[in-house]
Amino acid sequence: MNRFAELLDRLAYEPGRNAKVRLLVAYFREVEDPDRGYALAALTGALSFRHAKPALIRALIAERTDPVLFEMSYDYVGDLSETVALMWPSPTRALSTSPAPGTASSPPRNAASSPPPCGEGSGVGVANGTPSLGR
């Protein structure tokens, strides 16, 4: 997946059509199946995840964050995947401070030593117990 992400990054910044074609040809020559197939499906819009639909993603993030903070963040960011990526707890934080499903999360008592609940530097967070948005 890192190689595919690198390909997408390089394609986004490459202005020339022929250079983009060369990047694609090189990628498909170097990558093995099934990654090659997944990349082709993703690039052509044919990749579909049966279980990972927007409603499921909303439900998963709602279990891990404050619903009001999520709605405010989603309204500010404007994209579900970006909002979830910014707010999703890191694996170590999720294991140590995961709230009960359906309840709002609150910062731990030692919040100064742990990362912010919405991702360090994301501009989305909780200040003094109040949801805050900013850049």
Q: Which of 130, 121, 55, 53 is nearest to 87 (CA)?
A: 121
pLDDT value at 52 more than 50 = yes
Give the pLDDT confidence score for residue 112 in this predicted structure: 47
Mean pLDDT of the chain: 78
pLDDT band at 41 (very low <50, low <70, confident <90, very high): very high
pLDDT value at 23 more than 80 = yes
Query: What pTM value is reported for the model?
Result: 0.46
Q: Which of 26, 36, 122, 16 is nearest to 77 (CA)?
A: 122
Strand ranges, E, within the chain: 124-127, 130-133
